[in-house]
Amino acid sequence: MASDQKEKVLIIIGDASETLDTMYPYYRLMESGFEPVVAAPEKRLYQMVMHEVKPGWTITKEWEGYTLQAQVSFSEIDPNEYAGIMYSGGRAPEYIRYDEDLVRVTKHFFEADKPIASVCHGVEIPAYADCVKGRKMATVPKCKFDLEVCGGIYVDEPCVIDRNLISGRTFHDNGHYVGPWIKLLEQAREAKS
């Protein structure tokens, strides 16, 4: 790799991806000298949302957030070109997890032990791809079932590290789990040079 070329890292989104789940790691990757590449079912503009359980509510309230352009579709991804992957939360994972190309890409990152981050509903993608058996993960409590029914181990902490897999519960955990994931990416980069 040329010294002026940055390593690329995938950020997986769809319509209704959570804004903070997505944008915080996006900019942290840039700050750390990586090139974030937004991937989705198609190359187009996606509508993100803001999710929060309001005081007194028992369900999630949703507002429109920013929009974000996907640079690559799942079908175009050669996972060998990417140093890591991040599964954003929001409602998108519930719908995009069935995409065969996303499953293919997900399996690659788990099998290759590359740095993986997941937050909130992002767990639904590796769970569906049959990649969480025996793996410890944090996720939003309402996705505990999705993780456990697929053989994963739910941990209610702001940062759960299981080898190459680093996860958080919601965007409230961004300051806890994103840094250790970036550190894994940096260590892998240093090992190559």
What residues act catalytically?
A: 121
Among residues 145, 156, 92, 150, the alpha carbon closest in space to that of 121 is found at: 92
Distance CA 47, CA 141 (A): 24
Helix pair angle (19-31, 174-192), 10° resolution: 40
**CA 56 to centroid of chain Cα atoms:** 29
C-alpha triplet 25, 11, 73: angle, nearest 5°: 160
Instruction: Provide the token pair at 100.
Output: 């065969």
φ and ψ at residue 150, rounded to 5 degrees: -100, 10
Type and span of the H or E element at 144 = helix 144-149
Instruction: Provide the token pair at 20.
Output: 């903070």
Type and span of the H or E element at 121 = none
Among residues 65, 87, 104, the alpha carbon closest in space to that of 167 is found at: 87
